[in-house]
Amino acid sequence: MNFYGKNKQKKKKAIVTLSALALVSLLAGTFAWTSYTEWKQNHMQSRGFETGEVTISEKFPDKEVKPGGTLDKDINVVNSSDSNVFVRISFEEMLHKLQNGALTDGFDTLANAKFPVIIDHTEYTGAGWVDETANLLIDGIAPAKAQPSDVGYKLYVNGNKTALVYVREAKKAMFPDNYDFSASSTQIPVYSGTFAADDAQVAQKVIGTSVKLATNQYDFTTQASGGDLKYFGYGKDLDGATEANWAGDAIKLGTTATKPADPTKSNLDASILLAMANVGTNPATIAAKDWFYNANDGYFYYTKKLLPSQTTDSSVLQSVTFPGNAGADETYGMAAYDLWVGMEAIPSYLEAMEAAVDITQDGRGAGGWGLTKTDPMYVYFKTIADAQ
């Protein structure tokens, strides 16, 4: 999924392997350095059709899980330079999903169904199935399209079995802003056309009981007429996309920083869980874990100097658990979630920790971390920093 942040004019998109590089030089008694920052986007989304199951895909590589399942994700940093460095990591998020209260259900009209439950109609076009759309009646009359651009109703019959779907136009704008239509593993099934050209048509799930007439026509009766015809949808439209920036520096998304109190939960939705077995949160025991979450600034700090040609001893993140459907609330029936992972590395010197942050950089820069001398990470790093 290609997503461009609000401040895209200042920052180029980076989809790269996390790494940390640093260069230190001493010139005429002046301490100078080059610092590096890199960002990686991890895109996850639900498929949102047929059963309303929640399926996640990550682009590095693509993976899928069932509702309430866990997506493994390791984040390590490699020091490819010949200098010792300090490393910190931050997150930014984007979430777009159905409005609160959405649930997968059969509604009495197409309009009430709102966002449709999309199914793969091809299972009804195989051996034994016959297209009987020409003989379809609803409340005794040939059904009309909800809108001129729709294909309309399609009826398939296989002996005593009938399958009714409604084929409707499906523009990209129907789906989350950051939804990725290119990944084959998460491609929404289409009746005809493609999302690449924004002219796709999809089959909405419809169920009901028909009566076969002497004229060989199949008559379905709507709920308004005492029948059981149902149009499956989520009953809600999509909410607007929300964004969260954990730290505020080297921003990929143009949101104000909000430092979460609990780093094991998404800043956007507490039901998205982030497994962090290697992260500590107690300033009194920073050295006890490989990583420390600093609630003062929203960064995860590697608690050791990262030496040349070394990789961090453990990952700051092990997995992301995307929520399953909780009871009748299925807001994740159609959702897309981006987790931006940002890395900043500086030489392991006190002066670099104190230097001002350079938020214009995305890649090579000369910024520091802007830590105050009372910050717990400054106090801790002071004990292991290299002498200047």
pLDDT tens profile 246-304: 987 556 777 778 888 999 999 998 888 999 999 999 999 999 999 999 999 999 999 99
The full set of domain ranges for the chain reads: 23-100+242-382, 105-233
Q: Please tell me the predicted confidence (pLDDT) of residue 103.
A: 82
Burial of residue 387, with CB atoms counted within 10 A of its CB: 0-12 exposed, 13-18 middle, 19 or more buried? exposed
Ranges 24-33, 63-72, 227-236: which has the least confidence: 24-33
The secondary structure of residue 49, as a DSSP letter, is B
Does 12 score more than 50 pLDDT?
no
Q: Please tell me the predicted confidence (pLDDT) of residue 19.
A: 29
Work out whether the CA dihedral 12, 13, 19, 20 comes out positive or negative. positive
Give percent of the chain with pLDDT exceeding 90: 46
Amino acid 82 reads: D
Q: What Cα–Cα distance (Å) separates residue 295 from each residue in 91, 145, 259, 292?
A: 13, 55, 7, 9
Strand partners, 93: 244, 339
pLDDT tens profile 181-237: 876 666 788 999 988 889 999 999 999 999 999 999 999 999 999 999 999 998 999
Q: What is the pTM of this model?
A: 0.78
Q: What Cα–Cα distance (Å) separates residue 137 from each residue in 83, 153, 383?
A: 76, 10, 80
* CA 344 – CA 365 distance, rounded (Å): 10
Ranges 59-68, 72-81, 269-278: which has the least confidence: 59-68
DSSP one-letter string for 106-117: EESSHHHH-SB-
Does 49 score more than 60 pLDDT?
no
**Structure-token pair, residue 372:** 């105050």
Are 304 and 381 in contact by the 8 Å Cβ rule? The answer is no
Are 203 and 166 in contact by the 8 Å Cβ rule? The answer is yes
pLDDT band, very low/low/confident/very high, at 61 (cuts 50, 70, 90): very low
